[in-house]
Structure 1
Amino acid sequence: MEMVLAAGLALPLWAAAAGEGAAREVVQSPDPRYRPGTIVIRTSERRLYLVTAPGEAIRYTVAVGKAGKQWRGVKYVEEMQVDPAWSPPASVRRDNPRLPDVIPGGSPRNPMGARVIGLGPGGEYAIHGTNMPGTVGTAASYGCFRMH
């Protein structure tokens, strides 16, 4: 079973990050042992679960990493940003050498969208918005999780 956990996120912060347009539904928690505030991402389902109460979660559809770019493990929320600037990592730059060094926050060209939840340690992966909403529900990223 493919899972990524990011425990310890405060529910009000998540609600602000997910935004009003996010497609979501209340469902049974993927595992009753998870505490409220835990995020479970099942890459094979392309779903993110935010545990809101014992036995209950909100489920979102997300884009996951392309073949060979997916990861699993345990991470924690390291940071949250609104309108983040984006500097393409080396792996993205290799495939897209004409990208600028930095795409400013708020730019329609910024693939991070309006919000980012950086996962640690190291901040290599994140849960973030997207400027390509048609990719949500697919395997399209370099390892991050895109959502509406």
Structure 2
Amino acid sequence: MISSDDAVFDAGEMDAVVPQGHLTRRSFLVGAAALGTIGLAGCATGGMSLADAERIYGPLPNERFPVPAVNIGKIDPKYRRRTVRYDSAEAVGTIIIDPRHFYVYRIEGGGNATRYGANVGRAGFLWSGDAYIGRKAEWPVWTPPREMILRQPEAAPYANGMPPGLGNPLGARTLYLYQNGSYTLYTIYSTIMPETIGKGVSSGCVGLLTQDMVDLYSKTPVVTKVVVLPA
């Protein structure tokens, strides 16, 4: 079920901002004028210094499309990756999405979790429930859903898919969420735009900084459980 890097899959309808001159999710969605028992997250046990942040969020030159360093001045320090106390009965590896607080957790066991800052769905596009990772892809092709093209014809040139690259809405890594054997059209995807973290910018999908997404992706096999908390 794992996709090839160049497989063409819908990504749901997600927003993001990419460098000037590239197509953006936000330009599609808001127009050019707008540019188990789940526990409670507790105290951080592994914060990140500025020096560590500059290292962890540095460039990824060996990627298929080299990824630039994150401008960490554009992200609130609370959204940097860290280890936190998180009491949960979920199995190690389970991903828990907390859209209310703009966090994604990976359960590590022993009452701990890795916490990542995220962007989430805008008002009107929030959802919750249990899902699982049905497939995953590196540098995937992005295909806008038919419903999106009908609403916003500017997406039509990409009806057969946008090639991978830094301007592709899915970014470097994507985890596809499934329920009962069917793709939900929702994903956890990667973004190079730190200013989107901590904001509601998508149509239900969840974005992590590429450096965080590479970390989560490497630890997440297909069939991993995903719990999306109510917003």
Q: Deviations over 1:107-143 (max 9, x none)?
A: x321111000111032211101025432121000011
Counterpart among 110, 113, 124 of residue 168 in structure 2: 110
Using the alignment, how far apart are the partners of 2:203 and 2:128 within structure 1? 13
Taking a change above 3 Å as real, the CA distance of residues 25 and 95 of structure 1, as seen in their structure-2 partners, is farther
Secondary structure, aligned partner of 1:41: strand
Does the alignment pair 1:142 with 2:199?
no
Give the root-mean-square deviation of aligned CA atoms: 1.9
Change beyond 3 A, Cα 1:68–1:90: farther
Q: What displacement does 1:96 show?
A: 3.4
> How many percent of aligned residue pairs carry the same amino acid?
33
Query: Structure 1: any 5+ residue segments left out of the alignment?
Result: 4-19
Separation in 1 of the partners of 2:82 and 2:128? 24
Question: CA distance change for structure 1 residues 62 and 78 in 2, over 3 Å: closer, same or farther?
Answer: same
* TM-score of the two chains, using structure 2 as the length reference: 0.51
> The residue matched to 2:141 in structure 1 has which SS?
coil
Alignment-derived partner of residue 16 in structure 1: none
Structure 2 residue aligned with 1:128: 189
> Equivalent residue for 1:15?
none
- Change in Cα spacing, 1:87 to 1:80, as seen in structure 2 (3 Å) is same
SS of residue in 2 equivalent to 1:129: strand
* Higher radius of gyration, 1 or 2: 2
Residue equivalent to 2:112: 56
Partner of 1:27: 84
Runs of 5+ consecutive residues of structure 2 not aligned to the other structure: 1-37, 39-55, 58-69, 71-79, 210-231
TM-score, length basis structure 1: 0.78
Moved more, 45-54 or 88-97: 88-97
Q: Of the two structures, which has the highest relative contact order with CA contacts closer than 8 Å and spacing of 6 or more? A: 2
Give matches, 1:91-106, under 5 Å.
Answer: 91-99=147-155, 100-101=158-159, 102-106=161-165
* Secondary structure class of the residue paired with 1:98: helix
Deviation of 1:93 (Å): 2.7
Q: How many residues align?
A: 128
Question: 1:79 deviation in Å?
Answer: 0.8
